[in-house]
Amino acid sequence: MNIDEVVQLKKSLAKAISEEKTSAILGIMKQFNDDVVATKELLKKTDIGVFIGKQRSHPNADIARLAKDIVKKWKTAVQQSDPSKSIYSPKTNSDTVKVDDGGFVKPQPIDRSSIKIKRENSQGEISTPSPSLAKLENSFSENSSPSPSTPKLENDRVINNKGDRSFKKDNVGYSTGDSTRDKCIELLYDSLAFDSNNGIDIILNRAKKIEQMVLDQFDGEPEKQYRDKLRGMISNLKDKKNPGLRKGVVSGDITVQKFCVMTKEEMASEEKKARDREIQQANLFKARGAGPTQAETNMFRCGKCGERKTTYFQMQTRSADEPMTTFVTCIVCNNRWKFC
């Protein structure tokens, strides 16, 4: 499966997750598990490792377990494709110095730019471990700390280190002539740039377009509604637990037009959406009121503990012409799930 096919399948998975279609999610994830041959280049260009990794905390036990299996399989595949990327490379004469009674044995020349010398024990042995799996982990976890980089020039303007950027630090020069609008653009730039390594012009262009579109929504007057709308958008963009929203807006995956009409629920991070789904599911279990007593059955197998001791009830949660939703609870481990 090539990069374009992976990207399209990723979009289909995102849609299935947003619509909470469990069978579709499992089907697509099985395709990823069976058909995708993981490489560093594929994981880096598609970001599919991060996306699948998030599903390890999915409330559905089957989806979470399959996501863990896929991540483990892909990590192993990438490691096997490049055996040198082990946590510590074997010690050889070319990168090891030992202390004898007569003094130090002179090592063979080594590339100091790609290794880090580290003292291992009190006997005087010094080993040179190869780079750890941090880079590989970054393909599966967006919470990994970025490595520091020196400022670089783009369009003759300096880009500060990732995580240390703002409108003032990037020396951005832009003004609309209206102090209120200028301040809003500055705050938008700060919220988009603080952990980004994209160019100044790209981020400034996004901030200007967002501000202009919100302004147009309120008849071109920067009044209270205009400020309140932008304040909510900036708050969601600055959320450190929601890097996917910032990245999507800056890269263009989330268009300015779409972003400006998104609700706060749509802007929320995947973590918050998962929490909300759990709360909603728990509330559905509690919303039966004075309904009939749950029936005990062995028809269903728990995806968490594997036991068949369950209770269930049915409830109409959608329109009348749709089938009823069945809610199942495992008696052994209290795991809950539903299906239509």
Instruction: Provide the residue ranges of all domains of the chain, joining segments of one domain with +.
Output: 3-81, 89-131, 152-271, 288-339
In this prediction, residue 305 carries a pLDDT of: 92
Average the pLDDT over 239-267 and give the result.
85
Return the closest-CA partner of residue 105 out of 116, 89, 94.
Answer: 94
56 pLDDT more than 60 = yes
Work out the angle at residue 82's Cα, subtended by the Cα atoms of residues 79 and 84, and round it to the nearest 5 degrees: 95
Residue 261, classed as helix, strand or coil, is coil
Q: Are 303 and 65 in contact (CB under 8 A)?
A: yes
pLDDT confidence tier of residue 59, bands split at 50, 70 and 90: confident
Average the pLDDT over 288-302 and give the result.
73
Q: Which two tokens stand for residue 108?
A: 């063979």
Alpha helices in 47-96 (DSSP H): 48-54, 61-81
- Strands 310-315 vs 295-297: parallel, antiparallel or unpaired: antiparallel
pLDDT in tens, 99-158: 444 444 445 555 555 444 444 444 444 444 444 445 555 555 544 444 444 444 444 444
Question: DSSP letter at 97?
Answer: B
- Strands 126-127 vs 118-119: parallel, antiparallel or unpaired: antiparallel
Return the closest-CA partner of residue 251 out of 209, 194, 202, 188.
Answer: 202
Neighbours of 102 (CB within 10 A): 6
CATH number for domain 288-339, candidates 1.10.3720.10, 3.30.420.10, 3.20.20.140, 2.20.25.10: 2.20.25.10
Return the closest-CA partner of residue 46 out of 112, 2, 98, 101.
Answer: 2
Average the pLDDT over 154-176 and give the result.
68
d(CA 211, CA 226): 9
CATH number for domain 3-81, candidates 1.20.930.10, 3.40.50.880, 3.20.20.10, 1.10.10.10: 1.20.930.10
Mean model confidence pLDDT for the chain = 76
Phi, psi of 327 (to 5 degrees): -110, 125
Residue 270 to residues 52, 133, 245, 319, Cα–Cα distance (Å) = 12, 25, 10, 28
